[in-house]
Amino acid sequence: MTVELAHRVMQEHIDCPVTVCAIKSQAKTLLVQHNRMSPANRVKFGY
Protein backbone atom coordinates (compact mmCIF):
# COMPACT_ATOMS: atom_id res chain seq x y z
CA MET A 1 0.00 0.00 0.00
CA THR A 2 1.31 3.45 -0.87
CA VAL A 3 1.05 6.49 1.37
CA GLU A 4 -1.36 8.07 -1.11
CA LEU A 5 -3.63 5.02 -1.05
CA ALA A 6 -3.48 4.93 2.74
CA HIS A 7 -4.71 8.54 2.87
CA ARG A 8 -7.58 7.66 0.54
CA VAL A 9 -8.51 4.59 2.60
CA MET A 10 -8.60 6.70 5.76
CA GLN A 11 -10.95 9.16 4.05
CA GLU A 12 -13.21 6.51 2.52
CA HIS A 13 -13.43 4.53 5.77
CA ILE A 14 -13.83 7.56 8.05
CA ASP A 15 -16.88 6.05 9.78
CA CYS A 16 -15.27 2.64 10.38
CA PRO A 17 -13.70 1.97 13.77
CA VAL A 18 -10.02 1.13 13.28
CA THR A 19 -10.46 -1.77 15.72
CA VAL A 20 -12.94 -3.45 13.34
CA CYS A 21 -11.89 -2.34 9.84
CA ALA A 22 -8.79 -4.27 8.72
CA ILE A 23 -7.98 -2.03 5.73
CA LYS A 24 -8.24 1.12 7.84
CA SER A 25 -5.99 -0.45 10.47
CA GLN A 26 -3.41 -1.30 7.80
CA ALA A 27 -3.59 2.23 6.38
CA LYS A 28 -3.19 3.80 9.83
CA THR A 29 -0.17 1.62 10.61
CA LEU A 30 1.50 2.59 7.33
CA LEU A 31 0.85 6.31 7.88
CA VAL A 32 2.26 6.14 11.41
CA GLN A 33 5.36 4.27 10.15
CA HIS A 34 5.93 6.99 7.54
CA ASN A 35 5.41 9.80 10.10
CA ARG A 36 2.33 11.02 8.22
CA MET A 37 0.05 10.45 11.21
CA SER A 38 0.49 10.51 14.98
CA PRO A 39 -1.46 7.88 16.90
CA ALA A 40 -3.80 9.00 19.67
CA ASN A 41 -2.72 8.47 23.26
CA ARG A 42 -5.81 6.35 23.88
CA VAL A 43 -7.87 4.07 21.69
CA LYS A 44 -11.32 5.27 20.69
CA PHE A 45 -13.88 2.48 20.61
CA GLY A 46 -17.02 2.91 18.55
CA TYR A 47 -18.25 6.24 17.31
| Domain ranges for the chain | 3-33
- Predicted local confidence at residue 39, as pLDDT: 81
Q: What is the per-residue pLDDT for 3?
A: 97
**pLDDT at position 40:** 76
Residues 6+ positions from 29 with CB-CB distance below 8 Å: none
Predicted structure pTM score = 0.79
Q: What pLDDT, in 10s, does the model give residues 1-47?
A: 999 999 999 999 999 998 999 999 999 999 999 999 988 766 666 65
Q: What integer pLDDT is reported at residue 38 of this predicted model?
A: 87
